Amino acid sequence: MPGKKSLLLSVLFCLCCSLALVATDSKPAPADLTAAQIVEKNIAARGGLQAWRGVQTMSWTGKMDVGGGSLERSRRMAERKRGRPGRMEITDHKDAATKEEAIKQTQLPFVFDMKRPGKSRVEIEFAGKKAVQVYDGTNGWKLRPFLNRNDVEPFTPEEAKSEAGKDLDGPLVDYAAKGTKVEVEGVEKVEDRDAYKLKLTTKTGSVQHVWIDKQSFLDVKVEGSPRRMDGKMHTVWIYQKDFRSVQGVMIPFVLVTVVDGYHETHQMVIEKAEVNPKLDDALFAKPKV
């Protein structure tokens, strides 16, 4: 489900620091199936076309890893504002390393709601506050109180572009009707398993790659929206694992984000997934402070 995952990963706000697994530059081996055949098998493996067309809403709850450095600073600032004494600074190098590792492994609860056409809402809890990011299919807003930003902010042009045209079933379902061209670029290894590498070109000209496992035909790796970090754009990959059937459609319950050039990982674990829950349109409107 590339569309959702890409959304989720951009949605985890700037607080989410992601990692870089090693990517190979070797030329992909030739594929033995056409792009259309691979997509057909992928959709069948994920539950089938009719099952996905019947999905109008979806809701995920779980926990996500986040980059701890900025969160720890935000927590300390919040505590000072509430009049709480600051924590004693650690000077022992071993203890400091342990503290840093604990910060890196910070997990926050989240709720991610999706509704056709292209609506999404993410809520993340931290330090007694709730961050919200919503997209109504055309416009997006975010509220990030843990960064001491108490006003509702509009999406940046990059964020809006990233979310435009996405839907909860991803780009491969009904891809031709969406105006997307799919090409197969060969076979590559994804975590020691052979996978077909597909190149998707949308009607607006944007390009995305998706890797389909040769045995399961599930989309085990997806190219996400590029992320700006340290003033530069970095390639993003999303590894999708632990697929489970929920009301007839396959959903990955573990997602790992990879950012080229970084050595930290970002993992999202879904604890509960619901298909076709009742979600009011008001849920996707501009947040109120």
**Residue spans per domain, the chain:** 2-83+106-275
Range of 18-22, 104-108, 232-236, 267-271 with top mean pLDDT: 267-271
Predicted pLDDT of residue 73: 44
Q: How far is Cα 30 from Cα 185, in angstroms, rounded to an integer?
A: 8
Residue 287, SS3 per DSSP = coil
pTM of the model: 0.76
Q: Using CA atoms, how far apart are residues 175 and 217, in angstroms rounded to an integer? A: 17
| Confidence category of residue 180, pLDDT binned at 50, 70, 90 | very high
CATH number of 2-83+106-275: 2.50.20.10
1 contact partners, CB below 8 Å, separation of at least 6: 46, 168, 169, 170, 219, 240, 251, 252
Q: What is the pLDDT of residues 119-135, one digit of tens each?
A: 999 999 888 888 999 99
Considering only residues 21 and 275, tell me which one the structure prediction assigns the higher pLDDT: 275
Strands (DSSP E) found in the chain = 57-65, 107-115, 119-126, 129-135, 140-144, 149-154, 181-190, 193-201, 207-213, 219-229, 232-246, 249-259, 266-275
Taking the CA atoms of the chain, what radius of gyration do you get in angstroms?
20
pLDDT tens for each residue of 72-100:
444 443 344 344 333 333 233 344 444 44
| C-alpha count within 13 angstroms, C-beta hemisphere, residue 266 | 27
Task: Look at residue 26 in the predicted model and tell me its pLDDT.
Answer: 54
Q: What is the pLDDT of residues 208-253, one digit of tens each?
A: 999 999 999 999 999 987 777 777 888 899 999 999 999 999 999 9
Q: Which residues pair with 211 in a beta bridge?
A: 197, 221
For the stretch 26-41, pLDDT in tens is: 567 777 999 999 999 9
